[in-house]
Amino acid sequence: MNQKLQTIKQKVHDFFYWEVLNRLKGENVPVVCICLMYEDKILAQTAQKNATLGTGDTQYVAPGGKVEVRHGEKPYQAVHREMKEETNLNVDILKKLGKDRNNKYELHWYLCVPMDISQMKVMEPGKQKELKFVDPADKSINWTPGNQRMIDKFLPIIQNYRAYMK
């Protein structure tokens, strides 16, 4: 019972910190979002909320995470760190796709390819359940609304990713 109570307390704390406090502060923390392409497909990972809340309505997001600004990290450096932390992959950045904002984050979108796909695995099972490559134009994939909007926006570039390879 004590462990269950701790888990509930942590979820309540996380909710108030992320959903209430950050919105009240109006801060836009820099975050990287990675469109990782392999064989004309884009990598989708289970959205963190699905893993932590245990919802059956699985949504997907592009891999990524916060830029460690306090350590002097730049967004392109965060791309490499986040991909290694979440998927065990080293990547080549092909192109910065652009930026987007919401009331919580400044989102930096990058187009990348893996250096060695055989190394891919779920590295944070508490945050994500699944990594899978999907057709970026497939509307049956349940992307989070923000991710779907940006994938649609960048779709012509994403589908032509080979043109940016060295």
Q: Residue 15 — pLDDT band, cuts 50, 70, 90?
A: low
- Per DSSP, helices labelled H in 34-144 are 48-53, 75-87
Instruction: Identify the pLDDT of residue 68.
Output: 94
84, 63 Cβ separation under 8 angstroms: no
Question: pLDDT, tens digit, for every residue of 104-122?
Answer: 788 999 999 999 999 999 9
Angle 27-50-61 from CA coordinates, rounded to 5°:
65
Whole-number mean pLDDT of the chain? Answer: 87
Cα–Cα distance list, 76 to 48, 122, 132, 141 (Å): 22, 22, 23, 27
Span 29-35, mean pLDDT? 94
Distance (Å, whole) CA 166 – CA 162: 9
Q: Residue 26 — pLDDT band, cuts 50, 70, 90?
A: low
Domain 27-164 CATH (choose: 3.40.250.10, 3.90.79.10, 3.40.50.300, 3.40.50.720) = 3.90.79.10
Q: Is 5 helix (H, G, I), strand (E, B) or coil?
A: helix
Instruction: Identify the pLDDT of residue 51.
Output: 47
Sign of CA dihedral 108, 109, 111, 115: positive
120, 114 Cβ separation under 8 angstroms: yes
The residue ranking higher by pLDDT, 51 or 96, is: 96
